[in-house]
Amino acid sequence: MVDSDLPSKLLSILSKAADIVRGHNFIQVYSHYDADGITAASIVGKALHRAGKEYRITIFPTLIDEFMQIIESTPSECVIVTDLGASYIDRFEKMTCDVIVLDHHTLRGDSEKVCYANPHMFGVDGMTSGCGATMAFLFAIAMDERNWDLAPLAMAGIAGDRQHLNGMSGFNTFVFEGAVDRGLIKPMPGSLIPVGRLYDELLISTDPYIRGVSGNREGISRLLKDAGVPEDRDYVDLTEEESIRLSSLIAIRLIQQGVSREKLEELARTKYYLPGWNTDAESLSSFLNSCGRQNMPSVGIGAGMGDPDCLKQAKELDNTSRKQLMEGIKVLDNGESIIQMENIQWFDSSSTGFTGMLCGTVMSYIGDPDKPTIGINASDENANVSSRGTFSQLAKGIDLAEAMKEGCASVGGEGGGHKIAAGGSFKSEKRDEFLKNVDAIVGRQKQGKSAS
Ligand SMILES: [Mn+2]
C-alpha cells in the first residue's frame, strides 16, 4: 500500500499539521491514559524528539470540563491532542494557539480553524478501522518517513482499542501492511491458549476467563492433567497434540459457560508479533495500559518511547493489575453481583476499580450475552461509568455512545465514546436514576430498530 491509498484530504491535513509543528520550538501534547492514548503520545513524542523539538506530554483519564480548562489555559503556542478531543472541537476553535487534534471518537463536527483529523471524516469507522495511535502514526510519517519504525507502537494502540479483533481494516490496513513489508510486524496464527508459561498465564489471564480454571490453582492443575500437559510447559514448547487437546478442552469449557460463537472466534484471532519488542501487540498494549490505570502514565510513555527500565517497570505493573483484575472478576462471578434490569445488566465496581476492563469480561464470559453491561464506580463524589456491548447487540439497534451521552446528561453528567464501548461520569448520588434512564434508553433503541 502506498500513500495514494490514503484520502488526499487526510494527507493535506496531516502535512498541514506537520508544517504547523515545524514552525514551533515547543509543543504541548495531551493524550488519553489508556494503551491507545499512551502509544499515540509516545509516537508523537518520538516524532517531535527526532524533529529536534522540545515538548511536554500530559495524560488525562478522560476529557472533562476540568481538564479542558487546563488545556485552554496552556501558555504553549502549539498543542497536539491525541486520542481525545472529538467532543470539544468547538472549544479548541476558540483557543488562540495552534491546535492539532488527532482523534477517532464519534465526530461531532469538523473545524476550519483546528487542524483536525478523525477517520470518521473520511468514511472510515473510528471504532474498528483507525484509532488514536493510528492517527498519531499517520501524522508521524507525514513529519518524517523514518518514523515508520514506530508502526509497532501503532499496532499496540490498535490492539489496545481492540480494533484488531476482526482483522485489519481502513487506515489500520495501511499501517499494518506497510509494517509487515518492513519486517516490523509478524502475524501469528491464533489460539485459545494464552501465550507464555501456561500455569502462570492461566492464573492471571482473563481473556479467556475460564470458569473454575482461570485464577484457580486446583482448576488449572486439573485442566492441564486432563489435557496431558505438564504444568511447567510454555506455550511455545507445546507439541501439536498437546496444543490440540488443551485448546479443545478450553473450547468445550467456554461453550458450556455460555460464551458466544462471536467471542470464541474473536479468541482464536491472529496475534501480531513485534520482533523489535520481543512480544506481541496485545501484550505490549497491556503493559502500557497498566501504567495508565495505575496512575503512572509517564512510565508508559517512557516504555513506549523505548526506555528499557520503564518497559521493565511497565511489565511489573501489568502483572500486578492482571492479578487484581482476576480477583475482581472472581468476586463478580458468584452469581449475585451482576444485577439484571429489563434491557441492561450492571455491577458496582466501587471497591475494585477496573470498571471498563471488568465490563468487557462480564460481557464476554459471565453476564447475559443479550444485554449491554454497565459498570459503575461510585467510590467518589463523581461516579465513573463504563459500558460494553457486542456486535450482535449493535445489529439490534443498541448504540452505547448515544446511551451514555444521553443517560449521563439526564442526570447532569457527561458521557460518550463508541457504539460498542462507551463511558462517562455523573454525581454518585444519581446512580439509580442514571440506571433507570439508561435501561429505558436502551429499550427505546431496540424498539426503534425493530420498528424500522
Ligand atoms: Mn482510543
Q: What is the pLDDT of residues 290-331, one digit of tens each?
A: 999 899 999 999 999 999 999 999 999 999 989 999 999 999
Domains of the chain: residue spans and CATH: 3-187 (3.90.1640.30), 198-267 (no CATH), 339-451 (3.10.310.40)
> Within 10 Å of residue 452's Cβ, how many Cβ atoms?
6
**CB-CB contact of 300 with 292 (8 Å):** yes
Cα–ligand 1 centroid distance for 221 (angstroms): 38
Contact 151, 179 (CB under 8 A): yes
- The dihedrals phi and psi of 262, each to the nearest 5 degrees, come to -55, -45
Helix and strand numbers (H, E) in the chain are 18, 14
CA of 275 to the centre of ligand 1 (A): 24
- 403-436 pLDDT tens trace: 999 999 999 999 998 899 999 999 999 999 999 9
Reported as a pLDDT band with limits 50, 70 and 90, residue 1 is very low
- Out of 156-160, 197-201, 381-385, least confident range: 197-201
219 CA distance to ligand 1 middle (Å):
36
The continuous run of DSSP H or E covering 388 comes out as strand 382-388
Are the CB atoms for 112 and 130 separated by under 8 Å?
no
Quote the ligand 1 centre to 83 CA distance (angstroms).
Answer: 5
Q: How far is the CA of 157 from the centre of ligand 1 (A)?
A: 7
Q: Which grid cell is 207? A: 481473556
Indicate whether 335 pLDDT > 80.
no
| Cα-to-centroid distance, 133 and ligand 1 (Å) | 7
Residue 78 confidence (pLDDT): 98
- Cα(37) to ligand 1 centroid in Å equals 6
What average pLDDT does the segment 132-156 reach?
Answer: 98
363 Cα to the center of ligand 1, angstroms? 20
Q: Does 452 have pLDDT greater than 60?
A: no
In the reported structure, the alpha carbon of residue 36 is separated from the centroid of ligand 1 by a whole-number distance in angstroms of 5
Judged by average pLDDT, the poorest of 34-38, 352-356, 409-413 is 352-356
324, 352 contact by CB (below 8 A): yes
Kind of pairing between the strands at 339-340 and 345-348: antiparallel
Interval between CA 127 and ligand 1 midpoint (Å):
8
Cβ contact 193:235 at 8 Å: yes
Q: How far apart are CA 399 and CA 418, in angstroms?
A: 8
Percentage of the chain modeled with pLDDT above 90:
85
Q: How far apart are CA 94 and CA 350, in angstroms?
A: 37
CA of 195 to the centre of ligand 1 (A): 25
Which residues does 125 contact at the CB level (< 8 Å), separation at least 6?
A: 119, 169, 170
pLDDT per residue as tens digits for the range 191-241:
899 877 899 999 999 999 999 999 999 999 999 999 999 999 988 789 999
Grid coordinates representing 276? Answer: 523489535
Task: Give the tens place of pLDDT for each residue, 43-52.
Answer: 999 999 999 9
Give the distance (Å) from ligand 1 centre to CA of residue 141: 19
CB of 371 closer than 8 Å to CB of 344: yes
Q: Could you tell me the distance, in angstroms and rounded to a whole number, from the CA of residue 238 to the centre of ligand 1?
A: 35
Whole-number pLDDT of residue 2:
43
pLDDT tens, residue by residue, 77-115: 999 999 999 999 999 999 999 999 999 998 888 888 999
- The residues with which 26 forms a beta bridge, in sequence order, are 54
4: pLDDT strictly greater than 60: no
Question: 118 alpha carbon to ligand 1 midpoint, in Å?
Answer: 11
Q: Ligand 1 centroid vs 92 CA: distance in angstroms?
A: 19
SS (H, E, C) 58-90: EEECCCCHHHHHHHHCCCCCEEEEECCCHHHHH
